[in-house]
Amino acid sequence: MERAVPLAVPLGQTEVFQALQRLHMTIFSQSVSPCGKFLAAGNNYGQIAIFSLSSALSSEAKEESKKPVVTFQVLHFSLAHDGPVYSMVSTDRHLLSAGDGEVKAWLWAEMLKKGCKELWRRQPPYRTSLEVPEINALLLVPKENSLILAGGDCQLHTMDLETGTFTRVLRGHTDYIHCLALRERSPEVLSGGEDGAVRLWDLRTAKEVQTIEVYKHEECSRPHNGRWIGCLATDSDWMVCGGGPALTLWHLRSSTPTTIFPIRAPQKHVTFYQDLILSAGQGRCVNQWQLSGELKAQVPGSSPGLLSLSLNQQPAAPECKVLTAAGNSCRVDVFTNLGYRAFSLSF
């Protein structure tokens, strides 16, 4: 698959259609395989592609050419979902993908052998509606071996991965949920949604513990962008969230914003990395912030807008320790260190 068709190449019907499809592709989600050598990416057409990071990063591949896309074969390519693939996570054996209403499980080992049959599929108990609500976020809770799904129906569903049954429903959001984050120490989950609130849930009692309505704080409110919280990350007592309101670092116990990061574009993904905060959203760049609010670096990628970042920190594959970023294009940018974009994988 080529990234850019050279100019003035005669195009037939199918070629034009494929070119247009690639042009309007959005990659919503990524997930690194448990072995750390492969990366799965899901797009708006419901396709999941598996890229081999290890072969893309190997020295031979680099010497071969500077067009990585041609070199790195998409190992596995199937129409996995009817609608877009909004979210994906990997357990130690499975890849879980979610889009319109359903979560599906795929066996990593089989996918790498190009067997693209889904292992199982589950639908959370929705209230009846004209439209099937989408699942925007998946979150693994390793301690209780469960999966939390959240999305269009404004609720958090907990699914026991052992039995495949839905055990809990956490209600509280008034609009659909964009993102989830797990607090590592206590069994608490954070969720952020279109209604502009970040809610903290206690998994033991299945109750809402705390609510932060970000847009109500004048420092970070940006009414022209809307209230929605698009991204969320947490580290001990700290939480960072962004979206319509400005990207803000919060101290959870006191519910106060401590740092407001000076960036105008709405952010779609944020994560803690060592003592930095990485964020991405509209615009080509991956932003690196100091906790104090200073912009440490802005590394440009190839997509006009980014939707997801993925840090490959699998201990099994230290040579594949990279940052990947994907969004409004058919390309997944690969950053071998945080400083610059090494190359792009492409659908």
Partner 1 sequence: MSSESSKKRKPKVIRSDGAPAEGKRNRSDTEQEGKYYSEEAEVDLRDPGRDYELYKYTCQELQRLMAEIQDLKSRGGKDVAIEIEERRIQSCVHFMTLKKLNRLAHIRLKKGRDQTHEAKQKVDAYHLQLQNLLYEVMHLQKEITKCLEFKSKHEEIDLVSLEEFYKEAPPDISKAEVTMGDPHQQTLARLDWELEQRKRLAEKYRECLSNKEKILKEIEVKKEYLSSLQPRLNSIMQASLPVQEYLFMPFDQAHKQYETARHLPPPLYVLFVQATAYGQACDKTLSVAIEGSVDEAKALFKPPEDSQDDESDSDAEEEQTTRRRPTLGVQLDDKRKEMLKRHPLSVMLDLKCKDDSVLHLTFYYLMNLNIMTVKAKVTTAMELITPISAGDLLSPDSVLSCLYPGDHGKKTPNPANQYQFDKVGILTLSDYVLELGHPYLWVQKLGGLHFPKEQPQQTVIADHSLSASHMETTMKLLKTRVQSRLALHKQFASLEHGIVPVTSDCQYLFPAKVVSRLVKWVTVAHEDYMELHFTKDIVDAGLAGDTNLYYMALIERGTAKLQAAVVLNPGYSSIPPVFQLCLNWKGEKTNSNDDNIRAMEGEVNVCYKELCGPWPSHQLLTNQLQRLCVLLDVYLETESHDDSVEGPKEFPQEKMCLRLFRGPSRMKPFKYNHPQGFFSHR
Contact footprint for partner 1 (CB under 8 A): 4-13, 15-17, 19-24, 26, 28, 83-84, 86, 129-131, 134, 136, 152, 176, 178, 194, 223-224, 226, 228, 230, 268, 282, 304-305, 307-308, 328
Residue 59 main-chain phi, psi, to 5 deg: -65, -35
Nearer to partner 1, 14 or 205 (CB): 14
- By CB atoms closer than 10 A (0-12, 13-18, 19+), residue 35 is middle
Work out how close the CB of 246 gets to partner 1 at its nearest, in angstroms, rounded to a whole number: 15
Work out how close the CB of 30 gets to partner 1 at its nearest, in angstroms, rounded to a whole number: 12
Work out how close the CB of 340 gets to partner 1 at its nearest, in angstroms, rounded to a whole number: 21
Nearer to partner 1, 22 or 104 (CB): 22
Helix (H) or strand (E) segment spanning residue 87: strand 87-90
DSSP per-residue letters across 211-274: EEEGGGSTTT--GGG-S-EEEEEEETTEEEEEESSPPEEEETTTTEEEEE----SPEEEEEEET
- In order of 53, 68, 108, the CA distances from 72 in angstroms are 8, 6, 18
Name the residue among 103, 29, 10 with its Cα closest to residue 332. Answer: 29
Work out how close the CB of 211 gets to partner 1 at its nearest, in angstroms, rounded to a whole number: 20
Nearer to partner 1, 223 or 315 (CB): 223
**Which amino acid, residue 269?**
H
Nearer to partner 1, 270 or 317 (CB): 270
DSSP-H helix ranges across the chain: 13-23, 53-57, 59-64, 68-71, 108-112
Work out how close the CB of 228 gets to partner 1 at its nearest, in angstroms, rounded to a whole number: 7
- Number of H helices and number of E strands within the chain? 5, 28
Lookup result for tokens 């409110």? 221
Nearer to partner 1, 14 or 254 (CB): 14
Work out how close the CB of 96 gets to partner 1 at its nearest, in angstroms, rounded to a whole number: 16
Work out how close the CB of 233 gets to partner 1 at its nearest, in angstroms, rounded to a whole number: 15
Nearer to partner 1, 12 or 315 (CB): 12
**Which amino acid, residue 231?**
C
Work out how close the CB of 123 gets to partner 1 at its nearest, in angstroms, rounded to a whole number: 17
Nearer to partner 1, 22 or 122 (CB): 22
Name the residue among 230, 233, 189, 190 with its Cα closest to residue 212. Answer: 190
Q: How many Å apart are CA 229 and CA 155, to the nearest integer?
A: 15
Lookup result for tokens 């939707």? 307
Nearer to partner 1, 253 or 264 (CB): 264
